[in-house]
Amino acid sequence: MSNAQDTNNRDVTASSSYDLNNREMLKKQMEQMNLPIIEEFRANGGKVGGPFEGKNILLLETIGAKSHQSRINPIGYMKEGDAFVVIASKGGAHTNPDWYHNVLAHPEVWLEVGTERFKAQATIPEREERDRLFAAFVQQEPGFAEYQKNTTRILPVVILRRI
């Protein structure tokens, strides 16, 4: 059995498994990083300190697109009428966050805002609406403009409405 090779005749089998292992390791690190934020959020009625102090934070619970397991992510939001608007920024990385893929696959989600927990429906706005919401979000949280500058992808906007 031969290993997969790239165009320069290099073995890429180990590299491919390394990439998969690295992705899984990064996912675990993110979960470990999020856990104390989630615990603090729940212990303090939806408030967190540190770099998130005074920010609008919600907990977004999704069903994994591939795993079908529950996933919880703390995410900054902006209110738009009765909806919650979030940005799939991943800090300006070149790939979308996993939670974004999850809401595309399973748009019915759970939100925790303050001490309230409820079901919501995730929708992706059309480009014009996305641009308007993104600009409004940047007015509230200017750092997101920098995230957009750091990547070639258009940062997705997600609208979350109670159902």
The count of C-alpha atoms lying within 13 angstroms of the C-alpha of 126, restricted to the half-sphere facing its C-beta, is 1
pTM for this model (two decimals): 0.82
Q: What is the pLDDT of residue 99?
A: 97
Q: Which helix (H) or strand (E) holds 144?
A: helix 143-149
Give domain limits for the chain. Answer: 55-162
Low-confidence ranges of the chain (pLDDT < 50): 1-15
Q: What topology is assigned to 55-162 in CATH? A: Pnp Oxidase; Chain A (2.30.110)
Q: Are 103 and 122 in contact (CB under 8 A)?
A: yes
Per-residue model confidence as pLDDT tens digits over 83-127: 999 999 999 999 999 999 999 999 999 999 999 999 999 999 999
Sign of CA dihedral 143, 149, 150, 154: positive
Chain-centroid distance of CA 141 in Å reads 16
Q: What does the angle CA 72 – CA 37 – CA 122 come to, to the nearest 5 degrees?
A: 35
